[in-house]
Chains A and B, each alone.
Chain A
């Protein structure tokens, strides 16, 4: 189609050129106006996209269905460092990726679910949870209660999220531009820095990080110094730092470090 139009336009210009030459050999400065001609980008191919039966986000329980609810310790480790699960795409194309650690409440999950289910077109798009329903119990002492008397009762449940974890995954016969505003709107409201990423941009981020590690011109690396315990630096480093090479402090991520 496009080639046909191009051929037609080319033929036109040739004709006009020869015509101009015949009429005025001296005034052979002929301007060809190409206004109104436009080459459209190729439409993406969605032939191999299969939409699931239930394209919308599932409702997540506020409280897990346990026989005996047990109080747990704080266990801050579950939001520290990089995510070890659900850090790559499975079936979708676009996702909200956590850029730091944090706890998601049931309210957050409801906000995500309602916003996305309302704004996406279920005929072309599907959405999938990449996190579990709240499972970590948080205890609180009752209002006006004196200190002491043991640990408080379970108040609510949360979902811990680490850096690099996908929260929600979207896919289907859509481009990023169509759903980006919905996802950014959701990502802004999360209790940790979050980013909207596509499959390609996430891969690009991983590739960039790897490239930085390979092409680092600094002869002194965190790993080398920490493992060698140079000048007794291990005194101030934790096993957590040894594992992550100083890229994290607690749930926070230092961008631009290797």
Chain B
């Protein structure tokens, strides 16, 4: 305040600050925090505590080295059973049981038992450890969740599909039939195929029909045969070979 008066007198002397702070001595204040000097504030901000990076708690990640689990006797027995199943059975279907009650399972088992198809239960862990060492290792992805095996010594796919149609809570995932891995679609198309004896009969009948036809032709009148041969030569000529073929077939 007193400085303002001085400014008027000493205008030409140079610039002086208009307001000058007056110090009143240090006060012994204990009620509140004293305002901290800006440099000290900066120092405190710079020297904040920085905690070390969080260490990973033990057990958060699986251990690096694979611990080899000793198989107990029961697991070994199950594996032996599995080996027998895969050796004996020609059809091994993997089916997922979604909320299948005991009664449903009993009915299904009964229905499948008529066609000598058995239902076998194996733990997935045992299954996977068995499959990883066998030639059927490609089946391993099928064993997720509650799964059962339908096994039979003969590939009775049709009967199995008809039994599965009645129980919708069972979902067919895939099957290994005659050492061939089939998807569920593949199994369905397999079931639509006619049986082996029918196909063999068709083949035999087709083969015999050709020979019988030739014999029949030879037994006919020679004039008819010569006419047919003439027409065949005519068809072989490059002009109208393509068009005449269907006609010749009709004629024969």
Contacts and interface: CB of A to CB of B under 8 A. Distances in A.
A257 interface: yes
Interface in B73-111: 102, 106
B47 A221 contact: yes
Dominant SS at the A interface? loop
Interface string A212-240: 10011110111001100000010111000
A235 B33 CA distance: 20
A225 B40 contact: no
A10 interface: no
B149 to A, nearest CB: 18
A123 interface: no
A215 B52 contact: yes
Contacts of B34: 249-250
B48 interface: yes
Interface in A243-258: 246, 249-252, 254, 256-258
Interface residues of A, number: 29
A162 to B, nearest CB: 13
A220 B47 contact: yes
B40 A236 contact: yes
Dominant SS at the B interface? loop
B251 interface: no
Interface residues of B, number: 20
A79 B29 CA distance: 12
A29 B46 CA distance: 64
B193 interface: no
A104 to B, nearest CB: 14
B33 A246 contact: no
A218 B43 contact: no
Given A225-B43, A233-B43, A236-B39, A250 B49 contact: no
A257 B30 contact: no
Contacts of B47: 218, 220-222, 225, 246
Given A220-B46, A221-B47, A258-B49, A236 B33 contact: no
Interface string B9-51: 0000000000000000000101001101101100110111111
Contact of A212 (B30, B49, B106): B49
Nearest to A246: B44
Contacts of B52: 215, 217
B102 A27 contact: yes
A226 B47 CA distance: 11
B43 A222 contact: yes
Nearest to B36: A249
Given A225-B47, A236-B40, A249 B102 contact: no
Nearest to A231: B39
A217 B52 CA distance: 6
A216 B106 CA distance: 67
Given A249-B33, A250-B30, A237 B50 contact: no
A237 B41 CA distance: 11
A79 B28 CA distance: 12
B79 to A, nearest CB: 23
A67 interface: no
A236 B30 contact: no
B50 A217 contact: yes
Interface of A: 26-27, 74, 76, 79, 212, 215-218, 220-222, 225-226, 233, 235-237, 241, 246, 249-252, 254, 256-258
Given A218-B49, A236-B40, A250-B34, 13 more contacts: A76-B30, A216-B49, A217-B51, A220-B46, A225-B46, A225-B47, A226-B43, A233-B39, A233-B40, A236-B39, A246-B47, A257-B48, A257-B49
17 contacts: A74-B28, A76-B30, A215-B51, A217-B50, A217-B51, A222-B44, A225-B43, A235-B39, A237-B40, A237-B43, A246-B40, A249-B33, A249-B36, A252-B33, A254-B44, A256-B49, A257-B44
Closest CB pairs A-B (n = 4): A217-B50, A236-B37, A218-B50, A222-B47
